[in-house]
Structure 1
Amino acid sequence: MKQRLIGIDAGGTMTKVVLFDLQGNELACERQSNDVVLKHPGWVERDGEAMWHAVCTNLKALLEKTGTSPSDILAITPSGYGGGVYLVDGDGVNVRNGVISADTRTIPLLERWRATGQAKQLIPEIESNLWPGQTLSLLAWVKENEPETMARTAHVLPTKDFLRMRLCGDISTDFSDGGCAGMMNVTRNDISKTAFDILAMKEWLPKLPQPAIATEIVGGVSARAARETGLREGTPVCRGVYDVVGCGLATGFESANQLAVVAGTFAIHSTLHKKPTLNPLPTIQNRYPVDDLVIATMATPTSASNLEWFVKTFMTAERQAASARGMSVYDLCNELVEGTMAKPNDILFFPFLLDGPRGAPAGFSGMTVATGMADMLRAIYEGVACIHRYDMTTLLTGPDAAKPNVMRFAGGPSRSSVWAQIFADCMGLPLEITNGGELGAKGAAMCGAVAAGAYSSMSDAMKGMVKLERRFTPDTSRAKVLLAKYDRFLAAIHANVAEWQRQQSAAKANAA
Structure 2
Amino acid sequence: MAQYLLGIDNGSTVSKAALFDLHGREIAVASCKADTEYPHPGWTERDMEMLWQSTATAIRAVLAKSGVKPEEIAGIGNTGHGNGVYLLDKQGCPLRNGIQSMDSRAAGVVTEWNQRNLHAQVFPFTTQSFWPAQPNALLVWLKKNEPRNYERLGAILMVKDYIKYRLTGEVTGDYTDMSATSLMDVRNKNYSRELMALYDLSEAYDALPPLKQSSEVCGQVTTIAAKETGLAVGTPVVGGLFDVDASAIGAGAINVNQACLVMGSWSINEVITKEPIVDPSLFMTTLFADPGLFLTIEGSATSATNLEWFVNQCCGDERAEAKRRGISVYEVCSEEVASLPPGSTNIIFHPFLYGSNVQPTARAGFYGVAGWHTRAHLLRALYEGVVFGHLNHIEKLRAAGGQINTARLAGGGSRSAVWSQMFADTIQVPMEISDGNELGARGAALSAGIGAGIYRNYAEAVQEAVSVVRVHEPIPANTPLYLARYAEYERLIKVMQEPWEALSKLD
TM-score (norm 1): 0.93
2:492 match: 492
Aligned match of 1:306:
306
> Does 2:387 correspond to 1:396?
no
**1:221-274 Cα distance to aligned partner (Å, 9 max, x none):** 112211111111221111111110011112222333312211111111112222
Superposed CA deviations along residues 128-167 of structure 1, whole A, max 9, x for unmatched, are: 2212222212212222222233233322110110111111
Name the aligned partner's letter for residue 389 of structure 1. Answer: L
Question: Does residue 369 of the first structure (1) align with residue 371 of the second (2)?
Answer: yes
Instruction: Give the corresponding residue for 2:132.
Output: 132
CA distance in 1 between counterparts of 2:73 and 2:169 reads 19
Tell me the alpha carbon deviations over residues 421-473 of structure 1, each in whole angstroms, 9 at most, x when there is no partner: 11111212111112221111111001100000001122221222222221101
Report whether the alignment pairs 1:340 with 2:345. no
With 354-363 and 260-269 compared, the bigger mean Cα shift is at 354-363
Distance in 2 between residues matched to 1:370 and 1:55, nearest whole Å: 50
For the 8 Å contact 2:269–2:393, the answer to whether it is kept is yes
Q: Distance in 2 between matches of 1:124 and 1:489?
A: 33
Pick closer, same or farther for the CA change 1:330–1:15 going to 2, 3 Å: farther
The answer to whether the Cα contact below 8 Å between 1:92 and 1:165 also exists between their aligned partners in 2 is no
Q: Matched residues in 2 for 1:39 and 1:381: separation? A: 35
DSSP-derived class of the 1:475 partner: coil
Local SS of the residue matching 1:285: strand
Q: CA–CA distance in 1 between the matches of 2:8 and 2:317?
A: 34
Distance of aligned partners of 1:342 and 1:283 in 2 relative to their CA distance in 1, 3 Å threshold:
closer
> Residue in 2 aligned with 1:237?
237
1:11-30 correspondence runs (5 A): 11-30=11-30
Contact 2:129 2:280 in 1 (8 A): no
Please give the root-mean-square deviation of Cα atoms over the aligned residues, in Å.
Answer: 2.1
Q: Deviations over 1:112-138 (max 9, x none)?
A: 111112121111221222122222122
Alignment: residue pair count: 505
Q: CA deviation at 1:9?
A: 1.0
Structure 1 residue 410: Cα displacement: 1.1
2:266 is equivalent to residue 285 of structure 1: no
Q: Is the 8 A contact 2:301 2:354 kept in 1?
A: yes
Gapped runs of 5+ residues in structure 1? Answer: none
- Matched residues in 2 for 1:408 and 1:458: separation? 16
1:94-493 aligned within 5 A: 94-279=94-279, 281-316=281-316, 318-341=318-341, 344-355=344-355, 357-398=359-400, 401-493=401-493
What amino acid is the match of 2:89? D
Query: 1:346 aligns to what SS in structure 2?
Result: coil
8 Å CA contact 1:81–1:242 kept in 2: the answer is yes
Q: Is residue 125–residue 194 contact of structure 1 (8 Å, CA) maintained in 2?
A: no
Q: Distance in 2 between matches of 1:39 and 1:364?
A: 34
Distance 1:326 1:352 in 2: 31
**Secondary structure at 1:71's aligned position in 2?**
helix
Supply the distance in 1 between the matched residues of 2:354 and 2:192 (Cα, whole angstroms). 30
CA distance in 2, matches of 1:311, 1:12: 22
Q: For the residues of structure 2 that align with 1:32 and 1:376, how far apart are their CA atoms?
A: 35
* Runs of 4 or more consecutive aligned structure 1 residues displaced over 4 Å after TM superposition: none
Letter in 1 for 2:225: A
- Check whether the contact 1:87–1:98 (CA below 8 A) recurs between aligned residues: yes
The whole-number CA distance in structure 1 between the counterparts of 2:132 and 2:353 is 16
Q: Deviation of residue 324 (structure 1)?
A: 4.0
> Offset at 1:488?
0.4
Measure how far apart 1:332 and its partner are. Answer: 2.3
Aligned-partner residue type, residue 152 of structure 1:
R
